[in-house]
Amino acid sequence: MEKNAKIYIAGHRGLVGSAIVKNLEEKGYTNLVYRTHLELDLTNQEAVAQFFENEKPEYVILAAAKVGGIVANNTYRADFIYENLAIQNNVIHQSYVHKVQKLLFLGSTCIYPKNAPQPMREDSLLTSPLEYTNEPYAIAKIAGIKMCESYNIQYGTNFISVMPTNLYGPNDNFDLEKSHVLPALIRKIYLAKLLNEHRDDEVIKDLGVNSIEEAKEYLTKFGVDENSVEIWGTGKPRREFLYSEDMADACVFLLENRDFKDTYQSEESSNDTCTQNSVKTQEIRNTHINIGTGTDISIKELAELIKEIIGFKGELTFNDSKPDGTMVKLTDPTKLHNLGWKHKVELKDGIKTMFDWYLESQ
């Protein structure tokens, strides 16, 4: 890509999009285009078409999506499948219409079956049922992969799909009610440390409440006090975590150095149902690319690592009456390694950097 190439980043404010914007800027790209949701509703077909007509981006990074935790995914099933399909359909199709040179579509490892062999390889896709709670979101993302594949095959476009593992980093969501496990643990353990050290003013400021009594009452709902932090489940489930800026670097690497043709090995198959001439076709599938570290850590080990980094002197307790969820969820990043990229930031260093960012953002 030329440094002055016009690059549209959809979803530039989120954890994923903001990390990609930062990476592009650090690499010297000067012609970045983005719009807030208020400025451009990506579910609006006419508005997206008009945006592409006006801006004519040369490259597109599709990081925009409706996302949420287990409760949100299971409660608002129609919203998750409709809005994500609408966003993808509009942006991918207009990228074809306006001859975008390359598009990068970001999905999620929830596309893989609930009981996929571990670590999860790209060829596990569509081999057995999905996890029920996030099935609508996963199906939308699978449709995005297949849409990119199909446009590439039929129209010769250059659209690449990547599936990042669990991400963490600057601009993450630290909301105690809605955040994912790693940022939630950081904030809970940090607040417990403040309580333990009687730094009441900092607790009040962090939570935006009026008194330390109000703060303590609120934190009780999340199992946080000056002596301990409660964690749901047994602590035994294992999870893989990738630093968001590593993920961004992988995305930009693929945009700069790889094309759709590099993402698959086609296989010849024959249609044996034909009674006269056997019809041979080139089967192109599983072209998406996992972005991960290939290593995991138990929730208990993760909590203890965060406790060490933050310097909390209290206890960690595990409430085994609460659900553990899937016990192991690990990606196989061999395909990405073979394409020439490997993660650089190890978990301990990434958590330290993320915690520093959180403190500075207060």
Per-residue model confidence (pLDDT) at position 309: 98
Inter-axis angle of helices 181-196 and 200-207, nearest 10? 150
- pLDDT at residue 268, rounded to an integer: 58
Q: Which of 8, 29, 112, 137 does the annotation list as catalytic?
A: 137
Q: What is the pLDDT along the chain (362 residues), one digit of tens a residue?
A: 999 999 999 999 989 999 999 999 999 999 999 999 999 999 999 999 999 999 999 999 999 999 887 778 888 999 999 999 999 999 999 999 999 999 999 999 999 999 999 999 999 999 999 999 889 999 999 999 999 999 999 999 999 999 999 999 988 889 998 788 999 999 999 999 999 999 999 999 999 999 999 999 999 999 999 999 999 999 999 999 999 999 999 999 999 999 999 999 866 554 554 444 455 568 999 999 999 999 999 999 999 999 999 999 999 999 999 888 788 999 999 999 999 999 999 999 999 999 999 999 98
Which pTM does this prediction carry? 0.90
Query: In this structure, which long-range contacts are made by residues 180-187, counting pairs with CB atoms below 8 Å and at least 24 apart in sequence?
Result: 180/69, 181/239, 181/299, 181/302, 182/241, 182/302, 182/306, 182/351, 183/354, 183/358, 185/229, 185/231, 185/302, 185/303, 185/306, 186/306, 186/310, 186/351, 186/354, 186/355, 186/358, 187/358
Q: Where do the domains of the chain lie, and which CATH numbers do they carry? A: 7-169+241-291 (3.40.50.720), 181-238+296-330+345-361 (3.90.25.10)
C-alpha distance across the termini of the chain, in Å: 37
State the pLDDT at residue 311: 97
Known catalytic residue at 137: yes
Structure confidence at residue 73 (pLDDT): 85
Quote the pLDDT of residue 68.
81
- CB 182 within 8 Å of CB 241: yes
